[in-house]
Homo-oligomer: A and B are copies of this chain.
Amino acid sequence: MRRYSIASIPGDGIGREVVPAAIEVLTAAAAKCGFVLEFRHFDWSCQTYLETGKMMPDDGLDRLRDHDAVFLGAVGFPGVPDHISLWGLLLPIRREFEQYVNLRPVRLLPGIASPLRDKAPGDIDFWVVRENSEGEYSQIGGRTGTGENEIVVQQAIFSRRGTDRILRYAFDFARRSGRRHVTSATKSNGLYHSMPFWDERFAAIGAEYPDVAADQYHVDILAARFVMSPERFNVVVGSNLFGDILSDLGPGITGTIAVAPSANLNPERRFPSMFEPVHGSAPDIAGQGIANPIGQIWSGAMMLEHLGEAEPAALVMRALETALIAPDIARTPDLGGNGTTAGFAQAVRSTLLGL
């Protein structure tokens, strides 16, 4: 029997609720399709930080290394500054494991209303390919001077290698998925050095893919176009920061970011890839058992796909979409229902078993 070892890190807040819920669904899919998912749990979180001064143990990355994938909930909680929690756990995993692709579908699901007028599933259906290892997120920089004279410097670093590989991934993905149109997010009119370079590489790599259409927009107007004409996008590629913004805005136009998944991919498979919802730890509703588990379940489907289990992945998505339009299923409060995390996951699970 095929076996996959998965490191699960529920993390903080609602991560601790949606991860177990999603695992139930994934385990059912595995059982039904004849393979085994072995989850090993790592209880690393802001709580760990408050107790030990570290988000994860010193050998944390090594402990994850031998798994087939990492399944993460959410990191960050009030009381621990974000830049500590994230740079102590999430970002080192992305970087150490060269998960340089952050792949995020933006797709309107059946049964969920878009805040945009007159949009049905199919009208909003594209992918954001985000650079996930360098760029604007950098620890280089610092503060100098004091009081009124203080100056803070933040460096962004774009390497040719890092830029080319994400652009190439985007074009390959566009070709592979049959959606032969890549849009680049730039800001070369304001960001004097980094973005003209990005544009140059986009043109160079694009030239290697004559069968894929390529265009580019400054990120400001691109954000506006996500709202005004989402139909026109297929694959949108952006830097770490731009990809981050666009891949939250994307789910925003599909109704809620609670449903959005993401895959942090090491395409060469030298290291485990990591799957996590786009939403955060949501301290405002944490502990109440009412968090929407869809983003986590969908992230799980992306994980199955990455593991080579394409059919089970499709099965999970079919179950999710079927459950979403079933009249008698109690959806979570963010979707206007009064259901619970566990209840909704159960419903998806039994829908799946019945498919």
Contact = CB atoms under 8 A, between A and B. Distances in A.
Interface of A: 76, 81-83, 85-87, 91, 113-117, 136-139, 141-143, 145, 147-161, 187-197, 218-221, 223-228, 240-241, 244-245, 247-249, 251-253, 255-257, 280
A248 B246 CA distance: 13
A134 to B, nearest CB: 10
A157 B5 CA distance: 45
Contact of A196 (B81, B160, B189): B81
Contacts of A148: 160-161
A137 B220 CA distance: 14
Nearest to A142: B193
Given A116-B115, A224-B252, A190 B143 contact: no
Contact of A189 (B83, B114, B219, B245): B83
Contact of A257 (B145, B154, B221, B226): B221
Within the oligomer, what is the number of copies of this chain? 2
Contacts of A154: 155-156, 158, 191-195
Contacts of A226: 252
Contacts of A141: 155-156, 192-194
Given A152-B157, A155-B154, A156-B153, A251 B224 contact: yes
Chain B CB within 10 A, most for which of A155, A225, A227, A248: A227
A115 B228 contact: yes
Contacts of A190: 83, 86, 91, 136-137, 240-241, 244
Given A83-B195, A152-B160, A190-B241, 20 more contacts: A76-B189, A114-B117, A116-B116, A116-B117, A139-B193, A143-B193, A147-B160, A152-B157, A152-B197, A154-B155, A154-B156, A155-B155, A156-B156, A190-B244, A220-B245, A220-B247, A223-B223, A223-B248, A225-B252, A228-B255
B153 A157 contact: yes
B116 A193 contact: no
A150 to B, nearest CB: 4
A72 B154 CA distance: 31
- Most chain B C-beta atoms within 10 Å of own C-beta, residue among A152, A193, A228: A152
A137 B191 contact: yes
29 contacts: A76-B189, A83-B188, A83-B192, A86-B189, A86-B190, A87-B192, A136-B191, A137-B190, A139-B192, A141-B155, A141-B193, A141-B194, A142-B193, A149-B161, A150-B160, A150-B197, A152-B159, A152-B197, A153-B156, A154-B155, A154-B191, A154-B194, A220-B249, A223-B223, A224-B251, A224-B252, A227-B227, A228-B255, A228-B256
B224 A248 contact: yes
Contact of A151 (B137, B159, B218, B227): B159
A211 B244 CA distance: 33
Contacts of A91: 190
Contact of A192 (B138, B187, B192, B220): B138
A349 B137 CA distance: 50
A193 B149 CA distance: 16
A352 to B, nearest CB: 29
A291 to B, nearest CB: 16
Nearest to A75: B189
